Amino acid sequence: MAQEEMQFQAEVSRLLDIVAHSLYSEKEIFLRELISNASDACDRLRYAALTQPELMKDESSFAIRLKVDPTAKTLTIADNGIGMARQDLIDNLGTIARSGTAAFVEQLESKPEGSSLIGQFGVGFYSAFMVAKQVEVSTRKAGEAEGWRWTSDGQGAFTIAEDGEAPARGTRIVLHLREGDEEYMDPMRIRQIVSTYSDHIAVPVILESRKEDEPDQTLNAASALWTRPKSEITEEQYKEFYHHVGHTFDEPWLRLHFKAEGMLEYTGLLFIPSTKPFDLFHPDRKTGIKLYVKRVFITDDCSELLPPYLRFLRGIVDTEDLPLNVSRELLQNNPRLAKIRTALTKRILSELKKKAEKAPEEYATFWNTFGPVFKEGLYEDQGQREALLELARFRSTANQGGAGTDLVSLADYVGRMKPGQDAIYTITGGDPEALAKSPQIEGFVAKGIEVLLLSDAVDDFWLTAIPDYDGKAFKSVTRGGADLENIDKLEGADESDEKKADENSPALDALIAFVKLTLKDKVKDVRSSARLTSSPVCLVADEGDMDMHLERLLKQQNQLEHSSARILEINPDHALVKALAAQVGKEGGGAVVEDAAWLLLDQALIIEGEPLPDAAAFSRRLSSLVERGLISGG
Ligand code: ADP
Ligand code: MG
């Protein structure tokens, strides 16, 4: 069959361009990438052969073979793994399949530091073009008759043709090395690279001898890393394993390597990354944990192994407790797996707890990276709720220095509660800066009552699901009935507002009645406020109504049609309010106060970030009031 030429997906071309032109400091990682892929290919065939043993009948053991040819200036990496069919070649070596990766590449390109970001992201197969001017891939899928040959110079196109000389099974990659990259034909150099990056690979990596009388050399330990004693594994080996298994390239933030024995027998080698994967919120993101049964790779897409709120973990779980021929379908609703999941979850949470206690600053970096995902567990995982609440961290009015370590725990919060305070006060919204300036929290701040500033989308949801912490209910300060008066009575320090609350002045009562009459059903009620200190007004939700921010979110997502009317709270001590109260009942005062009533509501809406029902009227009233003020005042 004739050779066909095809174009790379645009993102691949961009990636290849970055790869070729970046002064990438660690070119040698191309070999790690190709060996990593070869090892994955062996894993996948071993799994397929569980149900189709004939796939492996010709050759029952796996190997990754390296070969150099100084005359042709080539380095060859060959495996006898699963191989690729024609369409696999097109899909895998012509596009970027992983979710979110294409978008990431786009970002890379627009950034001047783009090329340096590659390191932490990994370019996989395409890294071959860092050292090769021409790459040939010959491959035959296990169990299939035809072999295929893929070639490219990495310049926008590749070719595919049938290949009678493809390996009997698996993939052979021939790299035609660039001028200046001859070092990758040096056996010493190759040995050094393999032992640095690929020692943990469970399949033997063999360097073929070029002399008759010299044997081939196995360059790696060729045993699964997690089965080795901890004392024999170096930090570097752990890290390289993490990069291989997680397809990530950052430093692991936390490592857990353990063996559970007894009722359930399994080994875990798990990592928490230090950086956020860019597809963390992508719906078709796979879980990051690979499942092995008795050292045989089963799947890297087992959603039963960890709850979704721990989806940022990477690593492997290898169990003795499942049958080897377990199908992926059987993994669903498997009671043993469910038990492993619970045990793993507990272990992870308890490690996190240790970290939070011993190294709060490091814990804060973890929290800032994965907190929003982790908090999903607050409503998803009832069983671990207590542990999760202990681990949760929040920004708060008590602690707003720089970014990073200014986080508080619920235990901190409760320890600081004022006499008479029986609730944990919260405010939710999109922007933490804006939250800290919300009028609704003024009175709390003035009294030294802490308010948690919650700005992740998930916050509104767990708040509705969780009744309390340590017997203290969560209460939004944007609700009526956030009864400030009862708190702190005992301390009474610099409180000049003892008289406040109950008895309003008759003038204030008249103003409130007038505003109510003016705004009619646009508000649910108008009240004198105990929470405002510097702002004249704010809106709060009625006790029984939905939280205002949650309601806004639901409306944005078209999950809610109508909003409920709000309560307008008026600051009785504000100069503007006092002046307005003096106008009520005065000759000619009515028109001014009516305009002012609408303006007060509009102001409160603006602070909430809500649209004004009638912006033109707002503008007219504002101009007219300012004008009047200017003329009468000066
Ligand atoms: P990743 O390994 O993260 O999936 P790569 O760019 O390294 O990304 O590889 C892309 C895909 O190409 C792999 O997922 C695999 O499907 C396929 N592939 C690469 N090398 C091999 C190989 N030696 N044998 C079989 N398939 C391979
Ligand atoms: Mg790879």
Instruction: Name the token pair of 237.
Output: 């080996």
Checking DSSP bridges between strand 157-162 and strand 408-409, what pairing results, if any?
unpaired
CA 377 vs. chain centroid, Å, equals: 13
Instruction: Give the pLDDT score at 137.
Output: 98
> How many Å lie between the centroid of ligand 2 and the Cα of residue 204?
17
Instruction: Name the token pair of 429.
Output: 């919204």
Ligand 1 site residues, Cβ closer than 6 angstroms = 33, 37-38, 41, 79, 81-84, 92-93, 124-125, 171, 247
Q: From CA 148, how far away is CA 225, in angstroms rounded?
A: 33
Instruction: Name the token pair of 203.
Output: 């399949």
Q: What order do you get walking across the sheet with 289-293 strand by strand?
A: 252-260, 266-273, 314-319, 289-293, 296-299
Residue limits of CATH 3.30.565.10 in the chain: 4-219
> How many Å lie between the centroid of ligand 1 and the Cα of residue 146?
19
Mutate to test the pocket of ligand 1, among 9, 34, 95, 125 (most ligand atoms within 8 A of CB): 125
Cα end-to-end distance, the chain, whole Å: 93
Query: Is it true that domain 402-493 has CATH number 3.40.50.11260?
Result: yes
Instruction: Give the pLDDT score at 197.
Output: 86
Ligand nearest to the CA of 38: 1
Instruction: Name the token pair of 545.
Output: 């109504």
Instruction: Give the pLDDT score at 234.
Output: 95
Beta strands in 132-187 (DSSP E): 132-140, 147-152, 157-162, 170-177
Q: From CA 159, how far away is CA 149, in angstroms rounded?
A: 8
Instruction: Give the pLDDT score at 502.
Output: 54
The residue whose CA has the least distance to atom 23 of ligand 1 is: 38
> How many Å lie between the centroid of ligand 2 and the Cα of residue 56?
23
Instruction: Give the pLDDT score at 176.
Output: 98
Residue 612 per-residue DSSP state: P
Q: What share of the chain is helix, strand, coil (3-state, %, to 5)?
A: 40, 20, 40
Q: From CA 390, how far away is CA 386, in angstroms rounded?
A: 6
Instruction: Give the pLDDT score at 34.
Output: 95
Q: From CA 440, how far away is CA 76, in angstroms rounded?
A: 68
Instruction: Give the pLDDT score at 182.
Output: 95
Residue limits of CATH 1.20.120.790 in the chain: 494-634
pTM across the whole model: 0.80
Instruction: Name the token pair of 340.
Output: 């492993």
Mutate to test the pocket of ligand 1, among 86, 92, 105 (most ligand atoms within 8 A of CB): 92
Instruction: Give the pLDDT score at 498.
Output: 46
Atom of ligand 1 nearest to the CA of 37: 20
| Superfamily of domain 494-634 in the CATH hierarchy | Heat shock protein 90, C-terminal domain (1.20.120.790)
Q: Cα–Cα distances in Å, from 225 out to 28, 32, 131, 316, 343?
A: 22, 16, 29, 10, 22
Ligand nearest to the CA of 126: 1
Residue limits of CATH 3.30.230.80 in the chain: 230-389
Give the CB-side neighbour count of residue 550, counting CA atoms within 13 A: 19
> How many Å lie between the centroid of ligand 1 and the Cα of residue 225?
21
Q: Return all residues near 537 (Cβ < 8 A) that are at least 6 apart.
A: 439, 529, 568, 569, 570, 571, 600, 601, 603, 604
Atom of ligand 1 nearest to the CA of 33: 7
Helix (H), strand (E) at residue 514: helix 506-519
Among 435, 439, 429, 432, which Cα is nearest to 463's? 429
CATH code for residues 230-389: 3.30.230.80
The 3-state secondary structure of 275-322 reads: CCCCCCCCCCCCCCEEEEECCEEEECCCCCCCCHHHCCCEEEEEECCC
> How many Å lie between the centroid of ligand 2 and the Cα of residue 532?
58
Q: From CA 407, how far away is CA 393, in angstroms rounded?
A: 6
Are 259 and 273 in contact, with CB atoms under 8 Å apart? no
Length of the chain: 634
The residue whose CA has the least distance to atom 8 of ligand 1 is: 124
Instruction: Give the pLDDT score at 287.
Output: 78
Q: From CA 392, how far away is CA 562, in angstroms rounded?
A: 33
Instruction: Give the pLDDT score at 118.
Output: 58
CA 40 vs. chain centroid, Å, equals: 25
Taking the chain (634 residues) in consecutive chunks of 10 residues, what is each chunk's mean pLDDT? Answer: 88 82 73 93 92 90 97 98 96 78 67 56 83 97 97 95 96 96 96 91 94 92 93 94 87 96 93 87 78 88 90 94 78 88 96 96 95 95 95 88 69 92 93 88 90 93 92 89 64 46 79 94 92 91 87 84 88 92 85 91 90 91 85 59
Instruction: Give the pLDDT score at 325.
Output: 73
Residue limits of CATH 3.40.50.11260 in the chain: 402-493
Atom of ligand 1 nearest to the CA of 79: 23
CATH value of 4-219 in 2.40.50.140, 3.30.420.40, 3.30.565.10, 1.10.4190.10: 3.30.565.10
Helix (H), strand (E) at residue 254: strand 252-260
